[in-house]
Amino acid sequence: MDQQDLVQKIKQLKEKKHALIVAHYYVEDEIQEIADYVGDSYYLSKICKQREENLIIFCGVAFMGESAKILSPQKRIIMPNKYSDCPMAHMIDIKKIEEVKAQYEDLAVVCYINSSAQIKAHADVIVTSSNAYHIVSKLKQKNIFFIPDQHLGRHLAKQLPEKHFIFNDGFCHVHTNITKQELEEQRKRHPLAEVLVHPECPADITEQADYIGSTAGMINYATNSSKLEFIICTEVGVLHELRKKNPNKQFFSVGEQFICPNMKRITLKNVYEALVYADEMKQEDGVDCSDVIKDMQVEESIARKAECALIKMHELGE
């Protein structure tokens, strides 16, 4: 089947099953194109809860689908590729959280949404890069244990000197590899460009930013800016929406090698197979959908605790 046939079949099956397809800005461009909604992690967690469809094909990494399932347990959330996972989501263990909790009385465990459901179940509140400052500034606790990402944690600590932060050593293997030299090189080539940076980047990159924010935040910033050139310090997938929304502006990636292999695992064929699977069709057109698809499930006791922390994010984030 060529790409055009695949797209056609996805559209037909999507309609037949009354399914919703959502995608993160880091998945392949052709998947962003067939999705009903494309967004950052906060927006996707909101839209999956708000929409009425009971079948959601979630084109993103595991923690995103897990969050959607926790917030809408009655919906069927299908991950087109079960190997699409974010390593940062596992860069903290429960023992460490318990140890820090035992050390401080006046403590909030603030957990980045890039975390497994088990970790979220031990947090007081979840945040994303688009709402972390807003939420942490509203917390009454003085001590903040920020998990799992050290860079977002350190970025927040600079903005909230009245809080005492305890950091974890988690990181994103894509953003952490963006170097000062690469950014300087791009700045020399494009001296008029503004620098937009994701807060998962290390401090020597965020220090040089004109804007620091989530993927959606960067898109909004560039769209509303009067500037015409931008250097983008995040995963390359975000360039698709930036260029689509701003055909008169120029976007330069800090490096084309900054690709999230986890997000890019998802293929158009996987999306089609996920719909075939949901339709309980048998090996239609030779499709074998048994190996890579995951019908998202989260253990009940974990899900209900993690839900409290996610709901708190939605309440404080508004």
Interface with ligand SF4 includes 174 (CB under 6 A)? yes
Nearest approach, Cβ of 147 to ligand 13P (angstroms)? Answer: 15
Q: Which residues partner with 229 through β-bridges?
A: 250
Closer by beta carbon to ligand 13P, 67 or else 215:
215
Nearest approach, Cβ of 260 to ligand SF4 (angstroms)? Answer: 3
Task: Select from ligand SF4, ligand 13P, none the partner in contact with residue 131, using the beta carbon and a kind-dependent cut-off of 5 to 8 Å.
Answer: none
- Interface residue with ligand SF4, options 88, 121, 275, 296 (CB under 6 A): 88
Choose the stretch contacting ligand SF4; rule: CB under 6 A; options: 47-55, 96-104, 260-268, 275-283: 260-268
CB atoms within 10 A of CB 203: 12
Q: Are 23 and 47 in contact, with CB atoms under 8 Å apart?
A: no
Interface with ligand SF4 includes 126 (CB under 6 A)? no
Q: Are 272 and 285 in contact, with CB atoms under 8 Å apart?
A: no
Burial of residue 98 (number of CB atoms within 10 Å: 0-12, 13-18, 19+):
exposed
CA distances from 166 to 92, 130, 145, 150, 171 (A): 13, 21, 5, 9, 15
Subset of residues 89 to 118 that bind ligand SF4, contact rule: CB under 6 A: 114
Closer by beta carbon to ligand SF4, 10 or else 86:
86
CB atoms within 10 A of CB 2: 7
- Interface residue with ligand SF4, options 263, 268, 271, 302 (CB under 6 A): 263
Closer by beta carbon to ligand 13P, 109 or else 216:
216
Choose the stretch contacting ligand SF4; rule: CB under 6 A; options: 7-15, 169-177, 223-231, 287-295: 169-177
Q: Which residues contact 210 (CB under 8 A, 6 or more apart)?
A: 194, 195, 196
The H-or-E segment that residue 81 falls in is none
Choose the stretch contacting ligand SF4; rule: CB under 6 A; options: 51-59, 126-134, 167-175, 276-284: 167-175
Choose the stretch contacting ligand SF4; rule: CB under 6 A; options: 9-17, 170-178, 287-295, 305-313: 170-178
Residue 151 to residue 126: CA distance in whole angstroms: 16
Interface with ligand SF4 includes 22 (CB under 6 A)? no
- Of 159, 163, 120, 127, nearest in space to 299 by CA: 120
Q: How many CA atoms lie within 13 A of 57 on its CB side?
A: 32
The contact set with ligand 13P (CB under 6 A) reads 40-42, 114, 128-129, 172, 198, 200, 214-215
Task: Select from ligand SF4, ligand 13P, none the partner in contact with residue 215, using the beta carbon and a kind-dependent cut-off of 5 to 8 Å.
Answer: ligand 13P
- Interface residue with ligand SF4, options 19, 21, 79, 172 (CB under 6 A): 172
Residue type at position 216? A
Is residue 196 helix, strand or coil?
strand
Task: Select from ligand 13P, ligand SF4, none the partner in contact with residue 262, using the beta carbon and a kind-dependent cut-off of 5 to 8 Å.
Answer: ligand SF4
